[in-house]
């Protein structure tokens, strides 16, 4: 799933493997020509709204820098 400037790797599995999800999200972002990849993970036996958004620290820092450099939104 794409939501410029982010590629979202969605997961809903019994066993959560964060490193694999982040690796997949980053790979998909590169393949799509997007700057950021994140994994959205449904918590087992929970509503989707109770899920998690996960990325690696390097991507998180790049997201924060992009937000800081973005023009103000009136």
| Residue 46 tokens, joined | 């929970």
Q: Where are the domains of the chain?
A: 2-69
| 10-50: pLDDT as tens digits | 999 889 999 999 999 999 999 999 999 999 999 988 999 99
The pTM assigned to this predicted structure is: 0.84
Question: At 2, is the pLDDT very low, low, confident or very high (cuts 50, 70, 90)?
Answer: low
* Cis peptide, bond prior to residue 5, ω within 30 of zero: yes
Give the residue from 73, 72, 63 showing the smallest Cα distance to 34.
63
Strands (E), the chain: 2-3, 6-11, 36-41, 52-54
Contact between 36 and 62 (Cβ < 8 Å): yes
Structure-block tokens of residue 45: 């036996």
Per the model's pLDDT, the better-predicted residue between 72 and 45 turns out to be 45
Q: Which of 70 and 19 is assigned the larger pLDDT?
A: 19
């Amino acid at each position: 799933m794409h939501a410029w400037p982010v590629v979202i790797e969605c997961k809903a599995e019994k066993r959560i493997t964060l490193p694999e999800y982040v690796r997949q999200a980053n790979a998909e972002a590169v393949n799509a020509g997007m700057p950021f990849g994140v994994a959205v993970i449904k918590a087992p036996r929970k509503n989707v709204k109770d899920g998690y958004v996960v990325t690696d620290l390097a991507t998180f820092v790049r997201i924060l820098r992009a937000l800081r450099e973005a023009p103000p939104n009136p």
